[in-house]
Amino acid sequence: MSRFWSSIVHGLSPYVPGEQPKQGTFVKLNTNENPYPPSPRALAAIAGATDRLRLYPDPTALKLREAIAARFGVTVGEVFVGNGSDEVLAHTFQALLKHEAPLLFPDITYSFYPVYSGLYGVSYVEVPLDASMRVQIADYRRPCSAILLANPNAPTGTALPRAAIQELVTEHPDQLVVVDEAYVDFGGESAIPLVARHDNLLVIQTLSKSRALAGLRVGFAIGQRPLIDALERVKDSFNSYPLDTLAIAGAVEAINDETWFEETRGRIIRSREALVRDLAALGFEVLPSSANFVFARHPKHRGADLAAALRERGVLVRHFRKPRIEDFLRITIGTDEQCGKLIALLREMI
Ligand SMILES: *Cc1c(COP(=O)(O)O)cnc(C)c1O
């Protein structure tokens, strides 16, 4: 605390990311990073772009927006890119979600949503997940200005089918529906094909998870032009160059390298199915996952105890001290070898 702080700073409760250990060799299953490297084509493009670092990057990141537009069958004007999808989300809060009626999002979801609400003064109501920890779209039939869903949801991993998102946008023609698809490539159905027919839908994705580029910081939004225009107005009032030269070069190739994308996400999905079976065999209750993590609890062991014991033995998983989910562990899908180590340790502990 300091007398120099702006008054808003006193009231902020910042997001707390998962641990990034500074030393030691941990098996990192705590922040939903991809266990495989990024596309070699992306890495080569990054290396090949260093001779342009003297110059400012393209402020419109046109090449990347063209690649994303081609990949998803939309126009360049329907694509917004940012420094990670967290930044895209932040601009969305400021540009599109601040209204008199509240924003709705689940009580258990990505914990950055209440943080951005606080930062931008957005009023919100948390809608409880149902007893099986799923989003029920019927629960969103209440006064609001907008709805924000992570689909698949985090940290639960459960997904709504595209038909449910379609129902939601149809039921709320005058409310914006924002779908955060950070994990969609691991088994979800993207809502992007609905954008052409619905002017109240914005879909946000990231290259951090399925394209293994968390360190490059690239995310994007797809929506009809007026929504993208709002995001661009905020972006151009904040930072002209959120994506640097290396990020643009690498992201273009990561989007274009479909072979690498399909191969690595397929491996992660197969490892997830094996991990779910192994956890169930140890007595864990595992929520059905469409993501690169599973959310699981053991009827006889407290989540905090399991997370601490695993950490002592060199494996990091994520645990949230939050009502309803304090006995769950969120476990990122690693390589089969990493998952094997986790299971071997749990077998000793349980
Ligand atoms: C990881 C994650 C993000 C943020 O991804 P970045 O693009 O790395 O900022 C956004 N939403 C959800 C639900 C996530 O899990």
Return the pLDDT at 16.
86
Expressed in angstroms, the distance from the first to the final Cα of the chain is: 44
Enter the pTM of the model: 0.97
Spans of the chain below 50 pLDDT: none
* Pocket mutation for ligand 1, best pick of 15, 110, 111 (most atoms within 8 Å of C-beta): 110
CA–centroid distance, residue 182 to ligand 1 (Å)? 5
Is the shortest distance between the CB of 189 and ligand 1 below 6 Å?
no
Is the shortest distance between the CB of 149 and ligand 1 below 6 Å?
no
Reference 67, options 206, 219, 246, 254; nearest CA is 254
**Whole-angstrom distance, CA of residue 335 vs CA of residue 312:** 20
**DSSP letter, residue 38:** P
**Whole-angstrom distance, CA of residue 182 vs CA of residue 210:** 8
Name the burial class of residue 202, with classes exposed (0-12), middle (13-18) and buried (19+) by CB atoms within 10 angstroms of its CB: buried
Residue 178 CB partners (closer than 8 Å, separation 6+): 92, 96, 97, 146, 147, 148, 149, 202, 203, 204
State the alpha helices, DSSP H only, in the chain: 7-10, 40-48, 62-72, 84-96, 112-120, 162-171, 225-235, 245-256, 258-281, 303-312, 336-349
Return the pLDDT at 63.
98
Q: Are 212 and 192 in contact (CB under 8 A)?
A: no
Whose Cα sits closest to atom 11 in ligand 1?
A: 182
CB-CB neighbours of 244 under 10 Å = 18
CA–centroid distance, residue 86 to ligand 1 (Å)? 6
Return the pLDDT at 182.
98
Residue 266 CB partners (closer than 8 Å, separation 6+): none
Return the pLDDT at 23.
84
**DSSP letter, residue 138:** G
Is the shortest distance between the CB of 182 and ligand 1 below 6 Å?
yes
Tokens (6 digits) for 225: 């032009």
Side-chain-facing half-sphere of 152: CA atoms under 13 Å: 22
Tokens (6 digits) for 168: 């939601």
Q: Which domains does the chain have, with CATH numbers?
A: 14-37+259-349 (3.90.1150.10), 54-256 (3.40.640.10)
